[in-house]
Structure 1
Amino acid sequence: MKIFMEECVYIRLKYRAKVLPNHPIRLSDIANIIGTDEVKEKVGSLVLGEFSKNKNVFILDVTVVLQAIFQHFPEMKMDTYGPSQTIVEVERKTKKVSNLLFILVWIVLFIGAGFAIMNFHEDVSMRELHERLYYMITGKHSANPLVFQIPYSFGLGIGMILFFNHIFTKRLNDEPSPMEVEMFNYQQDLDQYIIMNENKHSITSVKDD
């Protein structure tokens, strides 16, 4: 232990960390450690606790980390930066979705999206607008101005691709899509809720080594 008396270790908790079920939670799993290789190996291998069987997620405070380091290396200098808490969740195995269920969900979403677009066009009188534009340009009446309707249909699809920034699983560029931004904001709100409401219960879910 004396070899660590003059050593200083810097700890930065991860904002969110995942651990395997039925495995001890080590410091290296939930934090970035800066120091010499020997210090990082010794400190990173410290066991902070384990998941309670009835918990899938809990909050780990930086004070728990500092207390664990102090108990094992009381002479070591410590400094922390970054988040003061980390959200730890167990990485469960996910069941593979059946192809039949995927096809059924895809059909339901496709039909629902189609009805939504048609209802929107009916509300704003899109067909009448195309007929009026055709008359203004050509001076003739047409019940089906395909010269506007066909390009508009292609433009609608291309616009959706550009809006969501994806062609199936391929991303068009590095800019996040509005859907990804909304999902990020939802995850942020969910994490904040967990921190505000689960902290007291979560600390008791960690068992001392």
Structure 2
Amino acid sequence: MSKKDDASSISRRGFLVLSGAAAALPASAPARTPAPPPPRRRATRFAVNGRAMVVDLEPRVTLLDFLRDRAGLTGAKKGCNEGACGTCTVLVDGQRMNSCLTLAVQCDKREVTTIEGLAEDGRLDDLQQAFIEHDAFQCGYCTPGQIVSARACIAEGHAGSEAEVREWMSGNICRCAAYPQITAAVLDVAAKGGPR
């Protein structure tokens, strides 16, 4: 047997040629799994800032995405998108909710209030005015969520002291650290009997 017949004596060039030829051969097509059916849409009825709505929604749409992208209400902000910062806080039946973690279909037959729903006839809500007077915002990104949360904090009866306000507002983060001014604004409105 000659060296040329020995498989171990193939040249590097020959190996590359054979490898390239093998790579060019059509591979068998992988088994295809059928595509999942598109998500079923669901008619959802709710009131947003007092306006009744009936919308056709996919079950996976968050309340935050619906408000910002479909309803045009951009006051609630997308911050962490994990429910940790509070910039997306809205009220659902008067209760604070992180709209980034709430599915829009969960709000069926419920009342949703955003920062845009607090002012009436162009007149600022008492908390909105107090935030201005106390300089309770810096960059303003967290401010809508802070104000909505503060409204619930007062309504829940948790605005009796600085410590209480800080505790019950702790889910709303202000990266500019305007906490003393935010607390002062909340206590000011609470002392006057709450927002109108």
- Taking structure 2 as the reference length, the TM-score comes to 0.18
Q: Which has the higher contact order (CA 8 A, sep 6+)?
A: 1
Higher share in helix: 1
TM-score by length of 1: 0.17
